[in-house]
Amino acid sequence: MTALFQNFKRYESLVNVVHLSCCWSTLGRLAAASEQDWFNDNASAAGLAALAAKTAAMLTENPTSGDIRARELANIAHGAAKSGRAAALGDFWTVLANAVEPRLGECNAQELANTCWAFAKAGVAHEGVFNAAARVLCAGASLDSFPPQELCNVAWAFSSVGRVDDKRLFAALCRAAGRSVESFTTQGLTTTLSSFAKAGVTDLPLLRALATQVHRKLAQCNAHDLAAAVWACAKLGVGDAALFGAAAAAAERHSDRFTPAGLANVVWGLAKSGHCASTVSCQSDCSNRLTPLTIAVDSQLFARAFEQPIHRHLAAFNAQDLSSCAWSMAKATHVSPPLCEALSRAARDCLETFNTQDVMNFAWAFVKLGVADAELLTSCAAALASQRLDELSAPQIANVAWTFATAGQMDTALFSSLARAAQTAAVDFTADDLASVSWAFANANQLDERLFKALASRAATLIDEFDEEVLDNVEWAFHKAGHRALVKQLRQRRKGRAGTEPGGQQLALPGASKCGRIVIAGGGIGGAAAAVALQHRGFDVQVLETDSSFDARKQGYGLTVQCADALQALGIDLAQDDAPSTSHYTFSADGHILAFFGEAFGGGKVRDTGANDTGSGRFVHLPRQALRHRLLEKIAPNTVRWGTKLRSFEPTGNGGVSLTLTDGNTMEAALLVGCDGIFSTVRRQLALAGDALNYVGLVVVLGISDAVFPLCERRIFETVDGTTRIYVMPFTTTSTMWQLSFPATEEVARNLTKDVAVLKKDILRRCGDWHEPIPSLLRSTPLECMSGYPVYDRPVLEPETLRPLSRSDARVTLLGDAAHPMTPFKAQGANQALRDAVLLADTLAECVAQHGPQAGLVAALPVFERKMLRRSSRTVIASRDKAKQLHTRLALQPGRKGQRDAADLNVSEAIQTLQARGISASSATDPRGLDAVVAKCISGGVDEPAPEAQLEPCWGWAVRDDAEEAAWHKGTVLRIRKSGKMVVQWQDGSTAILAEDFVQPRAKKRKH
């Protein structure tokens, strides 16, 4: 470097532009390779200034002269940018830009790319240079001849200087990159992908191809490449579970090598993709031994790989990095008080540099993690209140309202700016926007009159677009805000909707049968419901079902059905099958109440839960087979072909589909509807881009027990310990279903679920010391009433993925689990399948009426798929998120579920009171009943001791354990039912319901 500057000085008067260009190239090369900061040496700094001055003078004297070629200009720019001292060169860049701009058309690919790269690297977003470059690059097919490295440099340059709106240029770059996807170097690939992410490129096939290449080259990525790739794939929504799983493993290996921004990007990308729950982060010996599988997958990965590096980089993080780390931590459900404290301190020091999005994310993360950092949240509320909120989207407004209401931070200034923003935006709200904003404000008790007036007038125009769930939330919110007229209108709408489709009989479409036969593969919930709905509309339907008969195999678990609109449309009444519940509790493993809600506490009153009271109000609980039976009995005889399995299908020449069955037979269909569940044959054959089973990191064990326990009567409860969770609900009015789940690697899950005896031992080891009746419930469940399986879902489908252009008129579609399988933790799979079935029949009928039989079928399918996927995608994601939360310490936070019906109840305070008074799961044996005890306590009543008389020790005559005959056993009378039967608790904690004659006071033991 010293020699270079000395030579330049010696010959300065003689140098021409070629010499200068060589000097700059050499300087760039030497500076990039230099390990020391050469610029700190005075002689070098002076040398650089002299070189820049000479160059500027020469360019100024003769800016457009033919003897300064484009090549020399490109070299000068490149060398100057590589010198790393661009900022020290001042006006030099303007002079250079003026010289470069008119000569760009003469550059070859490398010179053009290098020039763009140099200006971007120097941070000089010279409009003239970039405009001219874009013109040249887009002219003809000039980019098509660019090698991958040059494409990468151009993409990087334009995205770095913020020219991401150059849509024409990025489209041309995509076209060119598509031709050379496999020729990119690892660094070129990751840089190009992240440039495309910054530019919001939407060319999905190209992006997926680039993501596949990233996956192949992952082993060669350094920390920088990895961070860029993970961030870009997550931002663009490309890449599958396998890619992110491998990236998570690589990130763990590189965790000490990330720059601060790289670390924030990689953590954000893994959290955003939701795939860091892959098996890589499960600590287990992957054997079938009964090792403790206390794994919270995401959280563990976060703790192992990222917590320490984040601590180390805290001081160097900018606002966005801090916000990304906090947000990712919440997404990974990683509760770490020291890290929260450190992040909070760092953020408070520079909150003024946070933009609106960063503050929102930061505050949301802390509330989501249940960290009550009042000082931080007060600062965040003030920061938000001082910013312009009128550009927030409806979901963002709802999120902010949720965040601060949940934290109890009802900052008046913030809520009133939020209300003004929502009020202005209300005219553009969609049905979903309206529901989330009105719900959030009502839930926060922020019933701003002007806001609700604006929301109400928007709601009146959207009334036909509300589905059942949205209608429910909107109705509740406006009821609370006192908008009686709108509530009445919404209720009429609900009735009207039900009224227009009473079983569908009279809605049969004349001529529907002319469409030809619709074949449904799968006679589960979705397939049976589709058959009912389609036959109501007059379509000719055949269902193929693998099972040899209705009850050919164990189909047993309980469902919660919440879609009254779909049931109504199907003409199904489930009242007689409902195993009702009127309260819902969350307990810790030792039985403390963590949350409670339900009709039993509506308005502070305990509902009569006596034997004559049927129905659980909004939801119906019943065995899956009972629902399936109700659907199948509505179908015309011989519609279902039992014992018939679809093997494959192919389009026929006349627009239909030819089906081949596993018995070798074939059949023709005008339309094939794949309702064949999560392992769908139809979906597999469609070979959808990016499709794969996604193991969510959990095992689910199911059981059904006939034993009677007071806590299980007409009640749903869940118990959590931060890792394992059990959910217990009425299966029928005389039996109880439980669902126990815990994290495990896929291999352990598969091994463990092969043998129910081993599984039972394992779960008893986990939960044997949990509060009663959990151990007794598990013990009382016969092995033949138990089953277990690893939990899977699939990536959320985009309508274009299900129906790509190449197959736009295919007469094949999917519904139910085949289209959108989800984890069972939000109890939505069957509800979505029922809604899909009604939607399919309605859309087909509408389109066939409009376009005629054949064109109508083709026109209906994309419309149906778009609506179905839009609705169900939300529940797939929410179910996956819930699966994560329920198996981490987040599940242990008290009062996470609000008591919606009792507006003035402070749930957190109520829970503290219950704990202070010792009211817990064991209070279920109180003769007055748990709900009554809880209701009395939270309404401020003094808890009186239970009436003595009914806790009388007794003898009960019953067959118990493995005995073959009945005998007298010691017990206690807990309660006498209205029917006169007695609820008796045995000494091991289990209970039975016995007729009066079979119970005797202990003093009067009777020999038999």
Ligand X SMILES: Cc1cc2nc3c(=O)[nH]c(=O)nc-3n(C[C@H](O)[C@H](O)[C@H](O)COP(=O)(O)OP(=O)(O)OC[C@H]3O[C@@H](n4cnc5c(N)ncnc54)[C@H](O)[C@@H]3O)c2cc1C
Q: Which of 145, 112, 143 is nearest to 130 (CA)?
A: 112
Nearer to ligand X, 700 or 810 (CB): 700
**What b-and-e string marks burial along 140-149, b requiring 16 or more CB atoms within 10 Å of the CB?**
eeebeebbbb
Q: Which of residues 700-719 bind ligand X (CB under 6 A)?
A: 700, 702
Q: Which of 333, 329, 393 is nearest to 357 (CA)?
A: 393
Q: Which of 98, 88, 95, 96 is nearest to 47 (CA)?
A: 88
Is position 831 an interface residue for ligand X (rule: CB under 6 A)? yes
Query: Smallest distance, Å, CB 736 to ligand X?
Result: 14
Is position 546 an interface residue for ligand X (rule: CB under 6 A)? yes
Stretch that binds ligand X, among 252-260, 539-547, 753-761, 958-966 (CB under 6 A): 539-547
With CB under 6 A as the contact rule, the residue among 258, 439, 557, 770 that binds ligand X is 557
Is position 833 an interface residue for ligand X (rule: CB under 6 A)? yes
With CB under 6 A as the contact rule, the residue among 21, 406, 719, 828 that binds ligand X is 828
Q: Token digits for 544?
A: 């193929």
Nearer to ligand X, 72 or 577 (CB): 577
With CB under 6 A as the contact rule, the residue among 51, 70, 134, 827 that binds ligand X is 827
With CB under 6 A as the contact rule, the residue among 41, 252, 547, 691 that binds ligand X is 547
Strands 558-561 and 620-623: antiparallel
Helix, strand, coil: what percent of the chain each, to 5?
A: 55, 15, 30
Query: Smallest distance, Å, CB 556 to ligand X?
Result: 9
With CB under 6 A as the contact rule, the residue among 329, 381, 646, 716 that binds ligand X is 646
- Per the CB < 8 A criterion, the answer to whether 84 and 32 are in contact is yes
Q: Which of 700, 552, 525 is nearest to 629 (CA)?
A: 525
Query: Smallest distance, Å, CB 740 to ligand X?
Result: 10
Beta bridge partners of 595: 586
With CB under 6 A as the contact rule, the residue among 560, 586, 694, 741 that binds ligand X is 560
With CB under 6 A as the contact rule, the residue among 251, 276, 521, 712 that binds ligand X is 521
Is position 265 an interface residue for ligand X (rule: CB under 6 A)? no
Is position 559 an interface residue for ligand X (rule: CB under 6 A)? yes
Please report, as a single letter, which amino acid is at residue 7: N
Is position 8 an interface residue for ligand X (rule: CB under 6 A)? no
Query: Smallest distance, Å, CB 327 to ligand X?
Result: 30
Please report, as a single letter, which amino acid is at residue 895: G
Nearer to ligand X, 681 or 991 (CB): 681
The Cα diameter of the chain in Å comes to 126
Instruction: Sketch the per residue contact string, 605 through 644, with ligand X: x for CB under 6 A, - otherwise.
Output: -------------------x--------------------
Q: Which of residues 348-367 bind ligand X (CB under 6 A)?
A: none
User: In terms of C-beta distances under 8 Å and separation of at least 24 residues, what long-range contacts does 385-390 make, across chains too?
Assistant: 385/411, 385/413, 385/414, 385/417, 387/355, 387/356, 387/359, 388/356, 389/356, 389/417, 389/418, 389/420, 389/421, 390/420, 390/421, 390/424, 390/425
Is position 527 an interface residue for ligand X (rule: CB under 6 A)? yes
Nearer to ligand X, 743 or 927 (CB): 743
| Angstrom distances, CA of residue 960 to CA of 484, 965, 966, 967, 990 | 56, 8, 7, 8, 11
With CB under 6 A as the contact rule, the residue among 358, 468, 545, 746 that binds ligand X is 545
Query: Smallest distance, Å, CB 680 to ligand X?
Result: 7
Cα–Cα distance, 52 to 96 (Å, whole number): 10
Residue 447's φ and ψ, nearest 5 degrees, are -95, 55
Query: Smallest distance, Å, CB 568 to ligand X?
Result: 16
Query: Smallest distance, Å, CB 763 to ligand X?
Result: 15
Query: Smallest distance, Å, CB 840 to ligand X?
Result: 12
CB-side neighbour CA atoms (13 Å) of 391: 5
Cα–Cα distance, 187 to 192 (Å, whole number): 8
Query: Smallest distance, Å, CB 778 to ligand X?
Result: 16
Query: Smallest distance, Å, CB 692 to ligand X?
Result: 18
Neighbouring residues of 561: CB distance < 8 A, sequence distance ≥ 6: 567, 574, 619, 620, 621, 622, 627, 830, 831, 834
Is position 518 an interface residue for ligand X (rule: CB under 6 A)? no
- Per the CB < 8 A criterion, the answer to whether 902 and 940 are in contact is no
Task: Give residue for tokens 């189909």.
Answer: 555
Q: Token digits for 720?
A: 């959590």
Number of residues assigned to the chain? 1008
Is position 681 an interface residue for ligand X (rule: CB under 6 A)? yes
Is position 645 an interface residue for ligand X (rule: CB under 6 A)? yes
Query: Smallest distance, Å, CB 822 to ligand X?
Result: 7
With CB under 6 A as the contact rule, the residue among 411, 468, 565, 817 that binds ligand X is 817
Query: Smallest distance, Å, CB 774 to ligand X?
Result: 18
Is position 186 an interface residue for ligand X (rule: CB under 6 A)? no
Is position 659 an interface residue for ligand X (rule: CB under 6 A)? no
Is position 675 an interface residue for ligand X (rule: CB under 6 A)? yes
Instruction: Sketch the per residue contact string, 912 through 951, with ligand X: x for CB under 6 A, - otherwise.
Output: ----------------------------------------
Burial class (CB in 10 A: 0-12, 13-18, 19+), 183: middle
With CB under 6 A as the contact rule, the residue among 790, 795, 829, 862 that binds ligand X is 829
Contacts with ligand X by CB under 6 A lie at 521-527, 544-547, 557, 559-560, 624, 645-646, 675-677, 681, 700, 702, 739, 816-818, 824, 827-831, 833
